[in-house]
Amino acid sequence: MLDHDCVLAELRQGVGAYPLLADALELEWLQIANLEALDELRCFVKWAGLIGSRERDLGEASVLAAAELRAGIAITDDRDATVVARHHGAKVHGTIWHLAQGCRNGKLTRIGAGSIVDALRTTGARLPCTGREFPAYATEHGLMTPVDHG
């Protein structure tokens, strides 16, 4: 339940300032990774110790623990957490990388990815480009090639 509580609490806190975040709470396809077993809790505690245990850090620690426990990739735009996570061997990337991967594998068009960037920015997400700038930014940073989908 830990990951569920940490991440959802962060989303709920942001709804007052950014009402569109409420939509994320209703996504049917979103899966919540609960951290309840002893090994899962140990992994969370490890990441909380590395990242920090301030209220906002707990969401990042839970995402990193869930990714590690499932041999997955953590997606976060928290730069400090990313630096620490990479230093400790975690697979971690940001939202722009994730959207670029969607374009590269044909599951998302550049226009669609740009729309997502703009939608996230309206919720207060601090991303390094606008939706219109997304294709050039992703290409410039080696995340996509000029010929990746749409």
Tokens (6 digits) for 109:
């068009």
With both helix axes pointing from N to C terminus, report the angle between 38-51 and 2-15 in degrees, rounded to the nearest 10: 50
Amino acid (1-letter code) at residue 19: P
Entry pTM: 0.75
Which structural domain range is residue 56 located in?
2-93
Tell whether 80 is covered by a domain. yes
Cα dihedral 137, 114, 76, 31 sign: negative
State residue 3's pLDDT score: 43
Tell whether 126 is covered by a domain. yes
pLDDT under 70: residue ranges of the chain: 1-8, 27-35, 148-150
CA distance readout (Å), 13 to 5, 6, 33, 101, 117: 12, 11, 20, 29, 21
Burial class (CB in 10 A: 0-12, 13-18, 19+), 104: middle
The domain tally of the chain equals 2
Tell whether 28 is covered by a domain. yes
Q: Are residues 57 and 101 in the same domain?
A: no
Beta strand extents in the chain (DSSP E only): 74-75, 92-93
Q: Are residues 102 and 87 in the same domain?
A: no
State residue 14's pLDDT score: 76
Q: Are residues 102 and 132 in the same domain?
A: yes
Tell whether 23 is covered by a domain. yes
Contact 67, 86 (CB under 8 A): no
Q: Report which of 89, 39, 97 is spatially closest to residue 64, judged by C-alpha positions.
A: 89
